[in-house]
Amino acid sequence: MQISKFMTPEIIFGNQSIAQIGESLRRLGATRVFLVSDPGVVNAGWVERIMEYLAQQRLEYHLWTNVTANPKDYEIHAGVAEYRSHECNAILGVGGGSAIDAAKAIALLGTNEGSIVEYEGVDKILHPLPPMVMVPTTAGSGSEVSQFSIIVDSARKVKMAIISKSLIPDIAIIDPQTLMTKDKQLTANTGMDVLTHAIESYISLAATPLTEVHSLQAMRLIAKHLRPSAASQYNAEAKQAMAMASLQAGIAFSNAILGAVHAMSHQLGGFLDAPHGEVNAILLPYVLEYNNIASPEKYRQIAECLGENTAGLSSRESSRLALKAVKELARDLDCPESLSAIGLVPEQIELISELALLDVCMTTNPRDMSAHDVATLFRQAL
C-alpha cells in the first residue's frame, strides 16, 4: 500500500459561523488583519458584517478588494505591497475562489521573497506563512481547505497552479447562509466546479480511501441539491448541502489532486479570462469519456452517486450512464455547451494543448495524454 498524507485546516461549519471570525483570528495571534475580498461580496453586505466581528475582538484591519475573477500576478504584487505598508500580521480571505486564492498568494509573498511566478509548481515555499482564516461565499472552489492557489501569469496568459501544504489555511469557516446572495448562473458555474473536483479527485491516480469517501459523498449531495440550489436563492436546505459538497470535494482534491479537466481549464481560463466553473462544465463530459477505459469500475460508482440505476449493467454500460448524468445536469443548469460559445477559436488550440500538458494536475489524470490527445478533446468541445 502506498504512503499517503491527508491534510485539512480546522473547519468551522454552519449557519452563523461567520460570527466566529474575530475570535478565530485572535486565537491565531492576529492583531492587524489584511482582509481580502471582492466588490460583489462587499455589495452583498458580508464584509460590513465581518468588520463588526473584527471590531468586537478589537482587531485592526485593512480592506483590499482589487482582485478580478481570475487573479493576476500584478494584482497579487499590489496586494502584498499594501499588506506590508499597513504592517499586517494575518490574512482573512472572504469570497469565492478568486478572493481566497489571492489571499493565499498574498500571504505567501508576505513572508517569502520574489515574484509570485517563481512559486509555480509543487513545494517551492521556503518560509512559514502568516496566520490565515478563509471564508468562502460560493460553493465553490474549495480553496478554503486546499493546498492550491491558482494565479494568472499575465505575461504568458497562463493560470499557474501553486501547490504547497503551507497554503492550507489555519481555519476555514463555512457559513451556508452566504450562498443566498449568489445568482442562478454563479450558483450553477460554481456547482459544476464542485462536481468536477469530486469526480476528478475520485478517479485521480493519487486517490486514497481517505479522499474517496469525501469525493463520493460530494457527488451524492450535488446530484440531489445542485438543481434546487440554482433554482432558488433562498432554499436553505440546498445551500447547506452544497456548502458541504464543496467542502468535501475541496478536502478530496487538496489531497488527491485533480486531472485533465483542470489542466485544460487552467489554460483556457488564463488565455480567455473565462469563468472557471463554466469551462469545467463544458470540458468535463469530453474528458470523462476519454478517461473511461482507465477506471471503469469507478465510473459505475460515479453513475450511482449521480442517481443512476446500474443494476445488472456492465461497467461499460454504467460508464455511459455517468456521462449521461453529467451532461443532463449541465444542460438543466443552462451551462454553455461549447468552447466556441466562450470565445475559443481553432487557431488557439495547439498552443493551449501544449501548455495543458505542463500543468501539475495532468500528472494525476488516470489516462496518459499527449498534446495531440488534448487538442482532440479541445476540438471536440468546440
Instruction: List, for residues 227-273, the tens digit of each pLDDT value.
Output: 999 999 999 999 999 999 999 999 999 999 999 999 999 998 888 88
pTM of the model: 0.95
Residue 154 has pLDDT above 90, yes or no: yes
- Which pLDDT belongs to residue 316? 86
Average pLDDT of the segment spanning 72-92: 98
Q: CA distances (Å), 283 to each of 12, 47, 110, 323, 352, in order?
A: 33, 34, 35, 12, 14
The cell numbers describing 190, all together, are 460554481
- Which pLDDT belongs to residue 269? 86
- Which pLDDT belongs to residue 270? 83
Which residues lie closer than 8 Å to 251 by C-beta, 6 or more apart?
8, 142, 145, 211, 214
Average pLDDT of the segment spanning 312-337: 92
Which residues lie closer than 8 Å to 343 by C-beta, 6 or more apart?
272, 274
DSSP for 210-247, please give it: HHHHHHHHHHHHHHHHHHHHHH-TT-HHHHHHHHHHHH
Residue 100 has pLDDT above 90, yes or no: yes
- Which pLDDT belongs to residue 2? 67
- 359 and 267 in contact (C-beta within 8 Å)? yes
- Which pLDDT belongs to residue 211? 98
Residue 274 has pLDDT above 90, yes or no: no
User: Percentage of the chain surpassing pLDDT 70?
Assistant: 99
Average pLDDT of the segment spanning 81-99: 97
Residue 363 and residue 205: Cα distance in Å, rounded?
8
Residue 103 has pLDDT above 70, yes or no: yes
The cell numbers describing 145, all together, are 481547505
State pLDDT tens for residues 116-129: 999 999 999 999 99
- Which pLDDT belongs to residue 5? 81
